[in-house]
Structure 1
Amino acid sequence: MQNPDPNQSEANLHAIDYWQVLKNRYGVILLTFLLVFLTAAVITYVMPKKYESMALVEVKPIVEVDPTMTRAAGGTAVPMTRQFMNTQFEIIVAEETLELAIDKVQLETRWGENRKTVIALLKGMIKTSQRRGTDLIEISVRHRKKDDAKIVAQAVYEAYEERRRMIERGIRDDQLKAIKGQLQNKSDRVAELRKRLMDIAEKSGIIYWETEKGGNTQGISSGLVEIAEKELYQAKRDKEQLSFQLNKLLTLSREELIAVAAELPEVGFQEYYNKYIEAKRELQQMLAQGFGENHPDIVMRKTGITELEASLERRAHNVRDSLKHKLDLLEGRVEKMQEVVNAQKEEGTVTARDIQEFNIARKEYQTALAIKDNMDIQYDREKTKLEMPMTNIVVHQYPQIQDNAVSPNVPLNLALGAVVGLIFGVGIAFALEYLDTSVKSLEDVERFLKVPVLAVIPKDVGVLHKQAGSSPDAEAYRILRTNIEFNRKNPEDNSITVVSGGAGEGKSTTMVNLAYICAQGGYTTLMIDADLRRPRLHTFFDINNSVGLTNYLTTDLLLEDVILQTPVDNLYFMPSGILPADAAGILNSRRMSELIKDVKQRFDLVLVDSPPILGVSDASVLSSEVDLTMIVVQHRKLPRNMLMRVKQAVENVGGHVIGVVLNNVDVRSDNQYQYYTSYYTYYAPSGDESPTEQSQKQTAAAAEPKKVTEQDDDLY
């Protein structure tokens, strides 16, 4: 069966073990959280306080006038698009606008900086935004001084309003200039066509005269004498009527002249007169509403009325002059018609071609004249309207001084510091977990080493033979003893060396406790302290270390001279002896091999303590001499690649790894190991014990020597 991919298994483990990572790394998370939170608090504390003053304005689009006068009167407005609002934001912070604001409140003198620096400071403190769901613009200014914030905010919106008015005035002037140019071209065209018409009429002998409704002609045609006589009669009547109107106009005052002229059928005069009357009525209403004589709107209205009145008077005089001209024309016409009637009978008629040419020229002239008159009326109307000041910016909120500082936002900064600190802490915790290649679980051991985990030893387990009464810690070693029995393929393989990858993994303590449990189980057990670098076993039993293994290997001493009986039944101990100069050479000897064979026959179980296998070569030598090798691995300490090198070092010398002891496991934080140590609950003190019995046990435990833990074994 194919083995699963280690990387895939590791990924699955991380996916379902997030909570475990947080529990194991809570110290890093807490430290990171505190550092980031305190940093945010310090930064917030040292940040200067800033106060905000805000103006709320409504910006109206600039009206564009159609120079061709083909659209409806009043022009069109630029639509309020997102680009329009963004453009206004840029105009507000443009250098031209800021320079106007600087000049208004003399910021250069107030702040003691040059203009370029003041502009840069203003750009940094001015913030523009569009209020959601409206066309309102918020112009806010933040400054360390309350008064300066208000003054700058007011100066900025006033400068922006002034620039908008300048821009609009320029646009209006350009538009009116273009309209005036078009109107002048139309006037020149009308004059040209009129001259051409009159030339054709003179050439063709056609009598043409203009009236308010157009123009009349009289040609000489044979057979039309009767018609000519009727027209002559009508011309005489028109002359008399026109003469009466003219005499009446000459005797009227200015106001009467305007009123009477409005009733005349002059093109566009009545409409213009109605506008004049309406303007006067609106002026009276405004005065009735309480507006003063010097109010801008009253002055503006009076100016408009004066202009309209002057225009009407000018037009009335033009009408009177026109009537005079028409009267002259009619008099000439009557005379001419009389001559025509008399001459028509004698001379005949004009040719049809001349009449057709005249009609075409007359139509062109009348069309151009109508267009020109309409443009003249529209120009006067638009000029009057555009000359009236328009408010394109409406202020809905003037800048005010806020008592509370808006920056720094202490609650927000601290909340962000807490959130960022927590996120960073969790991120660092998972990063460390990802980078941590140490052994974290039983699956790590079995996946990488392909050997079983014989036992899980909890954290802070003491030396069992120095503890009073029945200790729950002993059950872990009973499990270890049982697993050793069932994992030995050959019952005669009773010599085991205990190795570790590095110092401080609890190898010696594990071996002493295992030997104690085996001795309690009826096994005659021998412990050999073969760690000739830093021997440790003799300290567990308070035994002299002067005579032991090295003495036996280098002299002719007997085993009885170096094997000592411990206070524990069935448990024997061989100290290390005097430390030699060449430990590996002494262990890799024929006498050492004979020693192992001899003690295997005398004892049921032989446990050999060795130095760390990755540090020195002694452990490899011992692994080749004994039957089995047991590796002690401290939880979350040794990297996996080093653990694999430990096994490889044993196998390279022909040793056989029986299994691994996972030591120093914190079962309170690593939930996956709690079911391995459920015997703690089972061995908890029973409620049936009397207080006296519990007191006696506590007294006996206090009388024992200080408990030696795995942490005391860190020198190894």
Structure 2
Amino acid sequence: MSQNSPQTNEASLHAVDYWQVLRNRYGIILLTFLLVFLTAAVITRVMPRKYSSTAVVQVNNPGQGFGSNLGILESRQYFATQFEVISAAKTLKVVAEALDLKNKWALRDEDAVVGVLKGMVETKLRPGTDLIEITVLHIDPEVAKEVAAEVAIAYQNRRNQEEAARAENQLDALDAEIEDQKDKVEAKRKVLDTIVRITGRPYFEGSQNSPESMESLLAKMADRDVFDLKKNRDQYRIYLEKLEELDKEQVLRYAAELPVDNNSVRTLHTEYLATKRELEANKASGLGARHPTMMVQQERLAGLREDLDSAVATLRESLATNYEMISEQLLVMEDTSQKQQDELVELATEMHDYKEATRDYESALALLQELKLTHSAERVGLRSPKEPITIQEDPKVGTKPVSPKVTLNLVLGAVIGLIFGIAIAFFLEYVDTSVKSLEDVERFLQVPVLAVIPKDVGVLHKQSGMSPDAEAYRILRTNIEFNRKNPEDNSITVVSGGAGEGKSTTLVNLAYVCAQGGYTTLMIDADLRRPRLHTFFDINNSVGLTNYLTTDLMLEDVILQTPVDNLYFMPSGVLPADAAGILNSRRMSELVQDVKQRFDLVLIDSPPILGVSDASVLASEVDLTMIVVQHRKLPRNMLLRVKQAVENVGGQVIGVVLNNVDIRSDNQYQYYTSYYTYYAPSAEPETRSNRKVVDAKKSPAPTQSNDSDLY
């Protein structure tokens, strides 16, 4: 046996085609489907008819809209909270009291009424809106309408009360905070007054010009004056230095260009240059130095030069004077600026506490003003009407029941029944370890499948020779010929794991087909527990195998010829008390050896091998053992035990016959079995008068004197 057979992966053993599973288990699927569907139909039929009535309310979130400021998560949480508020016991108690439901429904207390109402009320949000649908289900449509209307009103009133209480609490909190802030402002004012008295600097409420800012402005002005004086002083110094460096002619020109007030040098220098040009012009015209005009002009030019020198000297003195004066002013202004800076530093030190106290006081005062404004706004909002909940649609009386949903329940029942049936089918297929295919046999038993016998095959010798079912047994006959290693091995016992697997029918039909093929075939009914072979031929079972084994009867006395040519039969005889002991005898061994010499093929029927030891004894006596396995019956482990039981006594398993296969539902066998119907014989069965399994010299039948009884 192959080593990997017992350890084959369980998943691979159940790797079957899904459609094949559905076809094989369609009965279970249909039964489950009908049971679930009928159950759903019955439950739907007995369920009470309920009517619905719906009130639609709009939730107005105070101060903000759901679509703008609230995020998606916050909006879902808000509406989920409102759903809980609607179905809360506090809301439903108001409804119960308003409709007097305790007395109308004859319940023991309000808690029981609230429990019933919780089961009636359903809430949901209309997608994309702020509208909540309050739906009430009840067997009475009028009651459903009344309860829906009262739930909407109770919810609206509760939200109005909660909103009013919330606003009042906010106002009370603001009043307390305003009073507390007033005390803080007064304390800050006292601290500021103390600092004002210490520093001597007054505080003007609302003034933006602090003493520190005025001092800073004066210091900046003094710095600017110092800068201007330095600039002027440096400018005058430059003028004086330049006048000292230039010669007389350059000095005249430079002095005439100086940007100073009352500069007489500029006018004299202009006149001087004009007179000089006239003198040069007259000289060029030919006038001599002694010419009166020339002399007048020379005297005038000399006088202008003296005036220029005098004016330049005066200008230099004026510049020096201004330089000295500005330098003295600069010293005074620098001293003043330094004092301003010192005073500013001192003021900044003194103003630190002043500024801090002022800032604290002004901040506290501003917060007080803001609280007062908020309080006023809240007060105005409280006085104006608010509607956190608006009833948009009043409930109406339902005209048609909404529960149970007949169509939905039946569809769900059908779907669930189908799914459940398919699940059961696959589960049964998974837990089913019986033989389902040829591969199962060859994988676990490691022996070939000799033939696949279709379901509901009858006894062939009672049917027409044209029956296509005979072809399956012809295949079996051929496979036996080619699978036995020794041509002398012509005694075969047919065994099965349990009763009712078609072992005896398989033996009779195989014997009939072999006899048709020209084999002299002997059937021995060695099932000494429940013999059946005689019933196939309507033969008396009183004398047979047991009589031969326990008495001195001759072999010809217990072998009978059947109506079928070449087919002989040995009945079981009287049933003994110790069947296994009789079969496990020397005379039985001699019997097997004797019939092997007389017949081409000996087929021995036996009881189930797992039930009694008879079959094991027969397996040890004969040449070959053929196992008949009913399709989808015994677990694979039991079949493995059948093979082991044969091998443990020294028997040789030639192969397996897979019996009772429903080829209409098992697609994998249709190809294997359907072809022989096409090739089924259309004439008389074949004869093989010259073909023998054993030596041709051997007689096909006993040759004793009473041949008439044998044949």
User: Normalization by structure 1: what TM-score?
Assistant: 0.69
Q: Which residue of 1 aligns with 2:666?
A: 670
Q: CA deviation at 1:476?
A: 0.7
Counterpart of 2:686 in structure 1 is none
Tell me the equivalent position of 1:445: 441
Residue 377 of structure 1: how far off its partner (Å): 5.4
Among residues 90, 111, 116, which one is paired with 1:116 in the alignment? Answer: 111
Indicate if the aligned counterparts of 2:55 and 2:133 stay in contact, CA closer than 8 A: yes
Partner of 2:509: 513
* Aligned match of 1:592: 588
- Alignment map for 1:456-605 (pairs within 5 Å): 456-605=452-601
1:323-362 correspondence runs (5 A) = none
Are 2:93 and 1:87 aligned? Answer: no
| CA distance in 1: counterparts of 2:146 and 2:412, whole angstroms | 32
Code of the aligned partner of 2:147? V
1:166 equivalent to 2:161? Answer yes
Shift of 1:557: 1.4
| Distance across 2 between alignment mates of 1:389 and 1:482 | 104
Pick closer, same or farther for the CA change 1:685–1:398 going to 2, 3 Å: farther
Q: Could you say what secondary structure the match of 1:433 adopts?
A: helix
Deviations along 1:204-234, whole A, 9 cap, x unmatched?
9999999xx999xxxxxxxxxxxxxxxxxxx
Please, what is the CA RMSD of the aligned residues? 3.5
Alpha-carbon deviation of 1:408?
Answer: 0.9
**Aligned residue number for residue 181 of structure 1:** 176
Displacement of 1:512 in angstroms is: 0.9
Range that drifts further, 575-584 or 496-505: 575-584
Once residues 81 and 25 of structure 2 are traced to their aligned partners in structure 1, the CA distance between those partners, rounded to angstroms, is 53
**1:82 Cα offset (Å):** 2.0
Code of the residue aligned with 2:384 in structure 1: it is: M
Structure 1 residue 647 corresponds to structure 2 residue 639 = no
> What SS is found at the alignment partner of 1:673?
helix
Partner letter of residue 34 of structure 1?
L
- Code of the aligned partner of 1:112: A
**Unaligned runs of at least 5 residues, structure 2:** 209-346, 684-711
Corresponding residue number in structure 1 for 2:152 = 157
Aligned residues: 538
The CA deviation at 1:471 is: 1.1
1:133 maps onto 2:128 in alignment:
yes
Change (3 A) 1:420 1:601: same
Point out the structure with max Rg over C-alpha: 2
Please state if 1:98 is matched with 2:92: yes
1:22 aligns with 2:16: no
| Identity score, percent | 67
Counterpart for residue 272 of structure 1: none
Counterpart contact for 2:472–2:676, Cα < 8 Å: no
TM-score (norm 2): 0.69
Deviation, structure 1 residue 77: 8.5
| 1:16-63 Cα distance to aligned partner (Å, 9 max, x none) | 511111111111111111111111111111111111111222212234
The superposition leaves residues 99-120 of structure 1 with CA deviations (integer Å, 9 ceiling, x where unpaired) of: 2222222222222221010111
CA 1:574–1:54: 2 relative to 1, 3 Å: same
| CA drift at 1:683 | 5.3
Q: Displacement of 1:674 after TM fit? A: 1.0
How far has the Cα of 1:134 moved from its partner? 2.4
SS of structure 1 residue aligned to 2:407: helix
CA distance in 1, matches of 2:200, 2:556: 165
Measure the CA separation in 2 of the matches of 1:666 and 1:358.
Answer: 110
Counterpart contact for 2:511–2:603, Cα < 8 Å: yes
CA contact (8 A) 2:494 2:603 kept: yes
Letter in 1 for 2:584: N
For structure 1, the residue ranges without an aligned partner over 5 or more in a row are 65-75, 216-351, 689-716
2:115 paired with 1:148: no
- Contact preservation (8 Å) 2:523, 2:605: yes
Q: Does structure 1 residue 392 correspond to structure 2 residue 388?
A: yes
Give the 3 Å change call, closer, same or farther, for CA 477–63 of structure 1 in structure 2.
Answer: same
Q: Match of 1:678, SS?
A: helix
Which deviations, in whole Å up to 9, do the C-alpha atoms of 1:378-416 show, x marking residues without a partner? 544431232111111122222122211111111111111
CA distance in 2 between partners of 1:594 and 1:461 (Å): 35
Instruction: Report how far residue 3 of structure 1 moved.
Output: 6.2
Q: Distance in 2 between matches of 1:645 and 1:675?
A: 30
Contact 1:63 1:77 in 2 (8 A): no
Contact 2:525 2:531 in 1 (8 A): yes
Q: Secondary structure at the match of 2:495?
A: strand
- Tell me how far apart the structure 2 counterparts of residues 40 and 200 of structure 1 sit (CA, whole Å): 91
Q: Distance in 1 between matches of 2:355 and 2:544?
A: 147
What amino acid does structure 1 have at the position aligned with 2:174?
Answer: I
CA distance in 2, matches of 1:567, 1:580: 28
In structure 2, the CA distance between the partners of 1:563 and 1:194, relative to structure 1 (3 Å rule), is closer
- What is aligned with 2:402? 406
| Post-superposition offset of 1:193 | 8.2
- Matched-pair contact (CA < 8 Å) for 1:481–1:517: yes
Question: Is 2:622 the partner of 1:629?
Answer: no
Displacement of 1:128 in angstroms is 1.8
> How has the CA–CA distance of structure 1 residues 78 and 390 changed in structure 2, closer, same or farther, with 3 Å as cutoff?
farther
Structure 1 residues 180 and 655, CA gap change in structure 2 (3 angstroms): same
**Aligned partner of 1:425: which letter?**
G
Q: Identify which range, 183-192 or 417-426, moves more after superposition.
A: 183-192
Distance 1:681 1:366, change over 3 A: closer
Instruction: Assess, with a 3 A threshold, how the Cα gap between structure 1 residues 194 and 526 changes in structure 2: closer, same or farther.
Output: closer
1:546-592 residue CA offsets vs partner (Å, 9 max, x unmatched): 22111111111111111111111111111111222221111111111
TM-fit CA distance, 1:634: 0.9
Check 1:601–1:60 CA distance in 2 against 1; reply closer, same or farther (3 A cut).
same
Structure 2 residue aligned with 1:692: none
- State whether residues 62 and 77 of structure 1, in contact with CA within 8 Å, keep that contact through their aligned partners in structure 2: no
For the 8 Å contact 1:33–1:425, the answer to whether it is kept is yes
